[in-house]
Chain A
Amino acid sequence: MTAHMSGAPSKPLLQVRNLQKIFPVTAGVFRKTVGEVRAVDDVTFDVHEGETLGLVGESGCGKTTTSRCILRAIEPTSGQIWFRRMHGEIVDLASMSREQLRPLRAEIQLIFQDPFGSLNPRMTLFDNVGEPLLVNGMANRNARMDRVAELLGLVGLRAEFMHRFPHAFSGGQRQRIGIARALSTNPRLVVADEPVSALDVSVQAQVLNLLLELQERLRLTFLFVAHDLSVVRHISDRVAVMYVGQLVELAPTNTLFTRPRHPYTAALMRAVPVPDPRIRVGEVTLKGEVPSPANPPSGCYFHPRCSFAQERCRQETPALREPAPGHFVRCHFADQLDLTPEAL
């Protein structure tokens, strides 16, 4: 376990309980509901104060929908999202009205994926980064200037850049600007949705280092949504894996990568190309395609692609269990399978 986790036992900052988001599938002139897409299906996890929880999965697995539900950018269908406020009050983000949510917005911020689409090209950096401050009541322009200068310094940009427009900056610099904006209101929880996937390798490393450094300095809590397992492994304290709208495994990072208990996690890890020509992966372990959340398979959603599947998997939906403390897995045979990289 990493240094900053071994301190005082951290309390959960965010507790997601049985979160569900069902999108209706409509057809015809009257938009009659003909089906449903279970984008997020009974997702439960905690995010502790000061940690980074990585949320991984392939496209369509519901990781982004989950993060958007926490931000209430998407309305969850059911479930609770308990958030511990600055002064210790615990509120359910899922059931609050828009008006009630407003004062909470400063505490939960978002870093976007696309550094080119997430900044307003007609606004200078001062306006882009300073707008959340204005919205949150910092009306004094000079005070905002000072704060924006401080924020730019924090992310490694010069304060003079404040009067320039986003087009003058590279992808990595824009991502830094996006981070500065997210930090402007002193948030406690930062939801980062694929913050480095649009960046080149050398720049990606710089931004990852920046996020780690800011977390230490400002005691931030990150929910880090990404599809790149090596990036997630690098930055997270714990990792949650999603598949077809469900959380299939959650464990401390090193445990998950060295001793995964869900066959999907193991297969996902094996699919990552190793940057060493001496370790060439032979056959493909995961055949077939990800099923559609509009028409998921019976029983365990992973059974049609799972090489360990048995009759029980076809019929019975596994529940999320905790076979070892802090290690959650949704598989009937989690106790019996040896999925360590050496065994496969």
Chain B
Amino acid sequence: MTAPLLSVRDLHVTFGLPEGVVKAVDGVSFDVLPGRVMGIVGESGCGKSVTMRAILQLVDEPGRIDKGEVLFRGGAQHAGGQDAAIIDLAKLPRHGAQMRAIRGAEIGLIPQEPMAAFSPVHTIGHQIIEAIQLHQFKWRADGGKLSKHDARDIVVDLFRDVGISMPEQRVDAYSWQMSGGLRQRAMIAMALSCKPRLLIADEPTTAIDVTTQAQVLALLRELQRKHGTAIIFITHDLGVIAQMANDVTVMYLGRVVEQGAVDTIFHAAKHPYTRALLRSIPSIAAKTRVALPTISGTLPHPFNRPTGCPYHPRCDEVIAITCSKQVPSLQPLGDGQSVSCFLYQAKTD
């Protein structure tokens, strides 16, 4: 068993608002193994994006990490051999040099909206060159200086790698001169520019069309094979998860409800929420114009979290009293599958 590259342990993130405290992430744990793709699925408000921002210490005020650990296996610069240092990112100061050296260089981020992520007043090339020069130790192992000219050559190569045509010209383009697909490719080039060992892709294809999405997903798969980068892939699209992930974490209202290998999740899901979610997608191969099975009710308001298991008011297999009073914990079922549900805990007790 390989040691995980990133271990999130019992992470809690809360937002203290005038109306009350919102528990955005409520005890989330998962491991990302080197070279694997961890898919994180959940509907809006399940805390998947906040979890990712917490890993990078990017949670905006008034949000804060209350509890938990984000254990990251130290980077190449302190790789002294077998037992590279394990750093708890949650304990590092947000604006400290150590955290800044990890963001971008060790953990790359592909944000959801490539339009909003690039500055419109600087060329794309300029913005990537800036990142490369900031983390130049990644490119110059001897500690020497990396000139702007060399950095520019790196960007051109990266653009070629991610399939941007005419890379020499495109380096000097502004983000608004590019199409959605090109911008997302440029964003991937930027995220990869410092050779991170972990890439966080937050809904990277949500804003683009299916045919472009297919191209971007193929590109990510190819780059992942080539460089062995581990990826945390966040999406609400179960089709994308099925195509991309090795392992899957399903979240609901800030908690992990189920975890397992991608095949287990899609073919042997245990948690009632996972199963209901899978049933409710209109499939391209399904019969037309028949009512879809739905999940009853709606997502509760963040200030109005249900007691007990957060899913119990919508669950069709709810166990009277137990589910509304007690909070289930994530229990392993073997074969790498874990589930947080009393239906399965009863058996193990």
Interface residues of A (CB under 8 A from B): 2, 58-59, 170-173, 200-206, 208-209, 212-213, 227, 229-231, 233-237, 253-254, 257, 267-281, 283-287, 289-290
Listed from nearest, the 10 A-B pairs whose CB atoms lie closest are: A273-B239, A234-B282, A200-B43, A271-B214, A58-B209, A205-B280, A202-B295, A205-B292, A230-B284, A275-B239
Given contact pairs A58-B211, A275-B239, enumerate 7 new A-B contacts (beta carbons under 8 Å). A2-B288, A171-B44, A204-B282, A233-B282, A234-B289, A235-B288, A277-B263
B127 on the interface (CB 8 Å rule)?
no
6 examples of A-B residue contacts, CB within 8 angstroms: A172-B298, A202-B294, A205-B281, A205-B282, A271-B211, A277-B242
- The chain B residue with its CB closest to the CB of A196 is B282
What A residues does B288 contact at CB under 8 A?
2, 233-237, 253-254
Whether A268 contacts B280 in the complex (CB less than 8 A), given A202-B295, A206-B294, comes out as no
- The chain A residue with its CB closest to the CB of B41 is A201
Q: Is the CB of A281 within 8 A of B276?
A: no
- The chain B residue with its CB closest to the CB of A287 is B215
Taken together as a complex, chains A and B put the C-alpha atoms of A316 and B281 apart, in Å, by: 41
Closest CB-CB distance, A120 to chain B, in whole Å? 22
Q: Is the CB of B299 within 8 A of A170?
A: yes
Partner of B298, one of A173, A230, A253, A290: A173
Q: Is the CB of A231 within 8 A of B282?
A: yes
- The chain B residue with its CB closest to the CB of A170 is B298
Q: Is the CB of A202 within 8 A of B43?
A: yes
What A residues does B114 contact at CB under 8 A?
none
- The chain A residue with its CB closest to the CB of B205 is A273
Q: Is the CB of B243 within 8 A of A201?
A: no
Q: Is the CB of B210 within 8 A of A208?
A: no
What A residues does B293 contact at CB under 8 A?
205
What B residues does A269 contact at CB under 8 A?
284
Q: Is the CB of A275 within 8 A of B283?
A: yes
Q: Is the CB of B242 within 8 A of A202?
A: no
Whether A200 contacts B44 in the complex (CB less than 8 A), given A172-B298, A173-B298, A286-B211, comes out as yes
Q: Is the CB of B281 within 8 A of A275?
A: yes
Q: Is the CB of A273 within 8 A of B237?
A: yes
What A residues does B299 contact at CB under 8 A?
170, 200
Closest CB-CB distance, B214 to chain A, in whole Å? 4
B262 on the interface (CB 8 Å rule)?
yes
Interface residues of B (CB under 8 A from A): 43-44, 179-182, 209-215, 217-218, 236-243, 245, 262-263, 266-267, 276-278, 280-286, 288-289, 291-295, 298-299
- The chain A residue with its CB closest to the CB of B180 is A59
What B residues does A270 contact at CB under 8 A?
214
Closest CB-CB distance, A281 to chain B, in whole Å? 7
Closest CB-CB distance, B151 to chain A, in whole Å? 27
Q: Is the CB of A272 within 8 A of B210?
A: yes
Q: Is the CB of B278 within 8 A of A275?
A: yes
Closest CB-CB distance, A161 to chain B, in whole Å? 13
What B residues does A289 contact at CB under 8 A?
179, 181-182, 212
Q: Is the CB of B298 within 8 A of A201?
A: no
What B residues does A209 contact at CB under 8 A?
291-292, 294
- The chain B residue with its CB closest to the CB of A305 is B211
Q: Is the CB of A205 within 8 A of B298?
A: no
Q: Is the CB of B266 within 8 A of A272?
A: no
Q: Is the CB of A208 within 8 A of B298?
A: no
Taken together as a complex, chains A and B put the C-alpha atoms of A290 and B179 apart, in Å, by: 10
Taken together as a complex, chains A and B put the C-alpha atoms of A271 and B282 apart, in Å, by: 16
Q: Is the CB of A234 within 8 A of B286?
A: yes
- The chain A residue with its CB closest to the CB of B267 is A278
- The chain A residue with its CB closest to the CB of B210 is A271
Q: Is the CB of B298 within 8 A of A273?
A: no
What B residues does A267 contact at CB under 8 A?
211
Q: Is the CB of B262 within 8 A of A277?
A: yes
Partner of B266, one of A234, A254, A276: A276
What A residues does B242 contact at CB under 8 A?
273-277, 279-280
- The chain A residue with its CB closest to the CB of B46 is A200
Taken together as a complex, chains A and B put the C-alpha atoms of A237 and B288 apart, in Å, by: 8
Closest CB-CB distance, B211 to chain A, in whole Å? 4
Partner of A212, one of B210, B243, B289: B289
Name which of B239, B276, B292 has the most chain A CB atoms within 10 A of its CB. B292
Taken together as a complex, chains A and B put the C-alpha atoms of A236 and B213 apart, in Å, by: 24
Q: Is the CB of A205 within 8 A of B294?
A: yes
Partner of B218, one of A2, A202, A212, A284: A284
Partner of A286, one of B179, B214, B238, B283: B214
Taken together as a complex, chains A and B put the C-alpha atoms of A231 and B280 apart, in Å, by: 11
Q: Is the CB of A230 within 8 A of B210?
A: no
Q: Is the CB of B277 within 8 A of A281?
A: no
Taken together as a complex, chains A and B put the C-alpha atoms of A280 and B244 apart, in Å, by: 9
What A residues does B180 contact at CB under 8 A?
59
Partner of B236, one of A200, A230, A233: A200
Closest CB-CB distance, A203 to chain B, in whole Å? 7
What B residues does A286 contact at CB under 8 A?
211, 214-215
Q: Is the CB of B239 within 8 A of A272?
A: yes
What B residues does A227 contact at CB under 8 A?
209-210
What A residues does B263 contact at CB under 8 A?
277-278
What A residues does B262 contact at CB under 8 A?
277
Closest CB-CB distance, A297 to chain B, in whole Å? 16
What B residues does A253 contact at CB under 8 A?
288
What A residues does B298 contact at CB under 8 A?
170, 172-173, 203
Taken together as a complex, chains A and B put the C-alpha atoms of A271 and B11 apart, in Å, by: 36
What B residues does A290 contact at CB under 8 A?
209, 211
Closest CB-CB distance, B323 to chain A, in whole Å? 19
What B residues does A172 contact at CB under 8 A?
298
What A residues does B182 contact at CB under 8 A?
289
Partner of A280, one of B243, B276, B280, B284: B243
Q: Is the CB of B236 within 8 A of A201?
A: yes
What B residues does A254 contact at CB under 8 A?
288
Taken together as a complex, chains A and B put the C-alpha atoms of A173 and B298 apart, in Å, by: 9
Q: Is the CB of A201 within 8 A of B281?
A: yes
Taken together as a complex, chains A and B put the C-alpha atoms of A253 and B245 apart, in Å, by: 31
Partner of A230, one of B181, B241, B283: B283
